[in-house]
Chains A and B, each alone.
Chain A
Amino acid sequence: MTARLQVVAAGPHVTVQDAGRPGLMRFGVPGSGPMDRLAFAAGNRALGNPAGAAGIEVSPGGLVLDCTTGAVGVAVTGGGFLVTLNGVTRPGWWRGTLRSGDRLAIRPGSWGSWACLCLAGDLEASPWLGSRATHAPSGLGGGRLAAGQGLTVHAPREVAAADLILPLPARPRHAVRVTMGPQERFFDAAARSAFLSGPWRLSPAFDRMGLRLAGPAIPPAATLDMPSEAVSRGSVQVAGDGVATVLMADHQTTGGYPKIATVIDADLDALAQLRPGDRLAFRAVTPDMAVTIARRHAATVARYLDGLGRYGD
């Protein structure tokens, strides 16, 4: 059994994603995976999918799909996008079944930058290094969606329609927590203070590799020739001209710019849902606090996902 979908329209940066390909940074390969991992996990759980199932990440460019054959359950999560099924508005966080002849449209709404479309079944997409997540700069992995393209879902399942609860940690957050460093020593006291007091906004330079910020110039104190070293999802790296960038899912794996701080993982999904022009502030926490927050966040997410798994079935 298969269900077939036809892409009617897809904006740029609409890609196949799954849980990503961790552990290959030493070969220049970032983890990739969804920009909003919590929303993606919620969509898969609401459909009864395995946690790492492949789905589609929808950019602000939006996505319109027709179901041409069969029937398949879908879940839409992520930002507050406008979701319509055959022209009828559905909630932004919703699951239901697409049947042959149905048209699903996901377009930018009141908030958020990324929506997730999860599919109850096995989305056919090419794996690369064991994952179907698309590495956007190269296009390797499941790849970008384009108008006219067909999608096949193997072993599709239907699901009962239901609204999904948008969990608190998935809402966009205008203040994110960081640990300082690993190169805060390259910034003088004024630059470190300016980093923590802002004000910052997201600039229009915004993609799966990183978010460039607009705000105070915080140039490194010394002219540097820093040897290249590993960077992380969440690194706040500062170029020689003092412009800060937060590295995201498809980041380069090494860089020669100093990192003034690193955004903790628990706050990165909510950060990804901000939009260009949105305000942003950084709050420093100690590494010990960051570990405590991570453990509390993991417990909250696990409880929430377990609740979703029990929903309506």
Chain B
Amino acid sequence: MPAAEAVFRPVAEHGLLVDLADRPARAVHDRVLALDRALAAAPFPGFVEAVPGHVNLLVRFDPLLTDHRAAEAAIAGLLARSAGPRPPGRLHEIGICCEGDLAPDMAEVARRTGLSPDGVVALLAGAEHEVAIYGFAPGYAYLTGLPEPLHLPRKPAALRDVPAGSLLVAAGQCIVSTLTMPTGWWILGRSPVPILTGNPARPFRFDVGDRVRFRPMSRAEYEAAP
């Protein structure tokens, strides 16, 4: 697919998947988020919601009010005008404790990467991560920006009942989990900061495009957190 073109793929009677590239890249995600912002600022009649992916945006509409052709024309118009650098997303500092049983995979990740556990934590904390997409389950924000040495494939087997708040790492991304669930990702810490905030005015801590820095915290500080 040529760099600046979009491909509109119909999804049933209620959506268009707007593909902006085949492969993920920073510039591609910039365009996804620019289109997302443009739709939020100037929704076309019948627009329902937009859902960002790594290389595309799903645009859902009400088929009683519009159709694929009208939606495509509206989106194409926004795409032509929505280029340009993205504004920096809000920066969140998220405390993480990477000690003991809160980081059960630390020793194995250190062994596989040839780093010390402190070296792993330093890489996690030194990077600026970015909320690329939400997916999988409520509040699961996929963060990109993980330093290259920590890019590991998933574990061979999933672990059950991994607690909410776990810092999970795999496939070049990380997640702070929100539910107790099985996972095949590497568990490198735990955060006392819930991503599902419980605050009705702002129920999700991050917006897509926000930036995240992890701040290592001691076990004592983790235990004392509210």
Contact = CB atoms under 8 A, between A and B. Distances in A.
Residue from A129, A135, A138 whose CB has the most chain B CB atoms within 10 Å: A138
B181 to A, nearest CB: 8
Residue from B13, B24, B64, B138 whose CB has the most chain A CB atoms within 10 Å: B13
Interface in B132-148: 133-142
Given A29-B138, A254-B135, A298 B64 contact: yes
Given A229-B58, A232-B11, A291 B179 contact: no
A295 B65 CA distance: 9
Interface stretch (B43-51, B121-129, B216-224): B43-51
A182 to B, nearest CB: 4
A227 B68 contact: no
Residue from B14, B49, B54 whose CB has the most chain A CB atoms within 10 Å: B14
Interface of B: 9-15, 17, 19, 23-24, 48-58, 60, 63-64, 67-68, 133-142, 179, 181, 200, 203-204, 208
A44 interface: no
A177 to B, nearest CB: 9
A179 B48 contact: no
A123 to B, nearest CB: 20
B67 A291 contact: yes
A22 B48 contact: yes
B15 A138 contact: no
Contact of A27 (B53, B60, B68, B138): B138
A259 B52 CA distance: 17
Contacts of A262: 11-12, 15
Nearest to B21: A227
Given A22-B48, A228-B54, A265 B136 contact: no
A253 B134 contact: yes
Given A229-B58, A288-B67, A291-B68, A254 B133 contact: yes
Nearest to B132: A228
A117 B140 CA distance: 32
A239 interface: no
A101 B199 CA distance: 41
B12 A28 contact: no
B55 A227 contact: yes
A230 B51 contact: yes
Which are the 7 A-B pairs with shortest beta-carbon distances?
A: A254-B135, A229-B53, A230-B58, A182-B9, A230-B51, A290-B13, A227-B54
A304 B178 CA distance: 41
B210 to A, nearest CB: 12
A263 B142 contact: no
Nearest to B9: A182
A27 B139 CA distance: 6
Interface string A244-257: 00000000111100
A294 interface: yes
Contacts of A230: 17, 51-53, 56-58, 135
Interface string A165-200: 000000000000011011100000000000000000
A254 B15 contact: no
Nearest to B180: A138
Contact of A228 (B23, B67, B142): B142
